[in-house]
Amino acid sequence: MKPSDISNNYSSILDNFKDPVMARHLLERIHTFTEKVTIMEVCGTHTMALFKTGIRFGLPSTVTLVSGPGCPVCVTPLEIVQNAIELACRENTVFFCFGDMMKVPGVSGTLELARAQSNANVKIMYSPLDALEYAREEPHKDIILFGVGFETTIPLFASILLRAQKDKIKNLYLLCAFKLIPPALQALLSDGDCPIDGFLLPGHVSSIIGEDAYRFMVETYQASGVITGFESVDILEGIYLLLDIVSKKEAAIQNQYARFVTKEGNRTAHDIMYTVFSKCNARWRGIGELPMSGLQLKSDFAQFDAQNLIDFKITSVPEPSGCCCGDVIKGKIKPLACPLFKVVCAPHHAIGPCMVSSEGTCAAYYKYGTHRAE
């Protein structure tokens, strides 16, 4: 089979998950449920898709959607952002990060501002591979990667460090701010002040960690979730399946995204990740410190730790006055309830990270409108 044949075949399959007739049929079935249900879409990509497709506005009034902590930019602590700015401003340094991190405020501004005002050499990367290649080309400069992301992107960063170690590259460093999704879900389920009836679980992350990674939700908390994809039919089918579970007073994990997600996940990616990193306690912006929810470099890879480059100690930094990103991330309020939303906090002048990221809840509400968003 030619590559073009594979591409065309996949496009044909994908069209099925965009089928407006099937989407309408699923929406009609969703409207047959009459019980009031609160659903959290964990993933920021789901948040954006729910707005962009109009699904959020087509659901019955009995279904309440709240957004969760599935935006890696949004949960990166303010002090880590500040450390990134300090590292980027070092002499003889090139700092690589994803574009969403450029406008996230630290204590003294943003990476974007540091690049403009302090001549910091900050580059937006499309892949961590960009930094590895740059480190080869500029062996006399310190090349720093800002490692932000969940299980979806962590294996790629790990593979870059494995390659750098194999090739004896001495000038590549990583500022590690990775987070793991299951501990965040556990924290939400342990919070008695967060009444959620079911979860739309992230398709991208689940393709790595697998369906079985969520079994604790049923076994320990009797909570339900459905792993879904990101097309309109994916999301609507996920919501329908979740409403069906809730209506039966059951607790279960179902996998709507079986075309990409298996029970055990991607074991190769998992093994690469834990060859380089080990679990550690980590602070989540708006949530606090969660046990074993982050990653740190193993001792065999300590030479890549960017924190060795400057003398600083990571400490907790207070959130901006009035910012409610924490409650938004935990699904306790919607952006409209934040006193700063659209008043002083907007994409061009963000106070909190949920307004910055392309997957941020506040950014989604700002971009796609706020009716039905009370």
Q: How far does Cα 111 stand from its chain's mean position?
A: 20
Q: Is 97 exposed, middle or buried (0-12, 13-18, 19+ CB in 10 A)?
A: buried
> Which residues, including other chains, have CB under 8 Å from residue 3's CB and lie 6 or more apart?
none
3-71+182-255 placed in CATH 3.40.50.11750: yes
Instruction: From 201, 228, 229, select the one nearest 216 (Cα to Cα).
Output: 201
Q: Report how far residue 280's alpha carbon sits from residue 179's, in angstroms, rounded to the nearest whole number.
A: 10
pLDDT tens per residue, range 317-354: 788 889 999 899 988 889 999 999 999 999 888 888 89
pLDDT at residue number 317:
75
pLDDT tens per residue, range 61-101: 999 999 999 999 999 988 899 999 999 999 999 999 999 99
- HEC string of 232-300? HHHHHHHHHHHHHHHHCCCCCEEECCCCCCCCCCCHHHHHHHHHHEEEEEEEECCCEEEEEEEEEECHH
Instruction: From 65, 38, 37, 68, select the one nearest 53 (Cα to Cα).
Output: 65
Q: Report how far residue 296's alpha carbon sits from residue 299's, in angstroms, rounded to the nearest whole number.
A: 9
Q: Please state the pTM of the whole predicted model.
A: 0.91
> In CATH, which superfamily holds the domain spanning 78-180+265-308?
HypD, alpha/beta domain 2 (3.40.50.11740)
